[in-house]
Amino acid sequence: MGALALPLLVVLTPRVLLIANPASRRGARLEDAAVNALRVAGATCDVCRTERTGHAGEIATARGRDYDMVFTLGGDGTAMEVAGALAWTAIPIGVLAGGTGNLLGRALGIPRSVSKAVPALLGGTVRRIDLGVVLGHRFAVAAGVGIDAAMVQETPRWLKHRLGVLAYTIMATKAALRAVILRRFFDVRVEVGTEVIERRAAAVLFANFGAILEDRIVFGPGITVDDGLLDCCIFSPTHLGDALRIMWRVTRRDFRPDPSILYRKGSRFRLATHPVQMLQADGELLGPTPADVTVEPLAAHLLVPRR
């Protein structure tokens, strides 16, 4: 992953604030296990439960600085609310899997089992990573429009609770096939530096992490999480053969030049589309284009297991 690693300050009895989202896929039933694992590992733990969207960030802002560490138990939305609220504070954040995709925890190599993740994080290191910003919302993994936003928008809650991350895989495949077969493309204009890029596209992604799902899907070459840059990936299939080739390449790390894929690095982008597209960031729908996409270098301090 290449992120900047720092030694974790050893605290004999760390004070941990656990922010748990009981509405997440596994958050409610794993809360007791998380509290027990923290205490067995020698930490003191206070629990705050979220009650609505945005509440995790409010809790972290109000109480996070009173603790040595803040742990989250929920999905990516909960983790990113806390990471955004504690950006630039140097408070280490531990991400426990309680949601559907858990893309951030997977990208950081955190075990999905709470009983394994807690000691791994308490005995781990701190990694400083960049955060992206779009429509006033911070994100860690990626933001985008097109196929990925359609997947987020169309995946029903009952399917997420029943199938977990497989639900997103099914809906992403459905959205991709529909976009290509029905030719539901859009015109995109991306400004980066002095360059203006205009293309027909099925998806535009602004990636901070280079890979997701334990590196099964790799967005592009040389994407690192601590370089002060985001990577804009524009996917422009014109037919089903193009789409299948793109899918093959991102799962096989094949980044040879391809007329259907365009990559650009930058610290600031201006995105416009026709027609208007909905933006998602780390699995949360945010709002419509146009939008500026920027980066905050090394803004978040995340706990990760030792390698």
Q: Contact, 234 vs 188, CB < 8 A?
A: yes
Query: Is the Cβ–Cβ distance between 70 and 82 less than 8 Å?
Result: yes
pLDDT single digits (tens) 190-216: 999 999 999 999 999 999 998 776 666
User: Could you read off the pLDDT of 17-45 as tens digits, one per residue?
Assistant: 999 999 876 667 899 999 999 999 999 99
Distance CA 186, CA 275 (A): 6
Q: What is the band of 181 on the pLDDT scale with cuts at 50, 70, 90?
A: low
Q: Over pLDDT 70: what percentage of the chain? A: 82
Mean pLDDT of 100-127: 91
109 three-class SS? coil
* Residue 159 CA from chain centroid, whole number: 20
pLDDT the model gives residue 1 = 44
Is the model's pLDDT at 167 over the cut of 60? no
Give dist(CA 87, CA 298) in Å, integer. Answer: 9
Query: Alpha-carbon torsion 206, 244, 178, 235, what sign?
Result: positive
Give the global pTM: 0.85
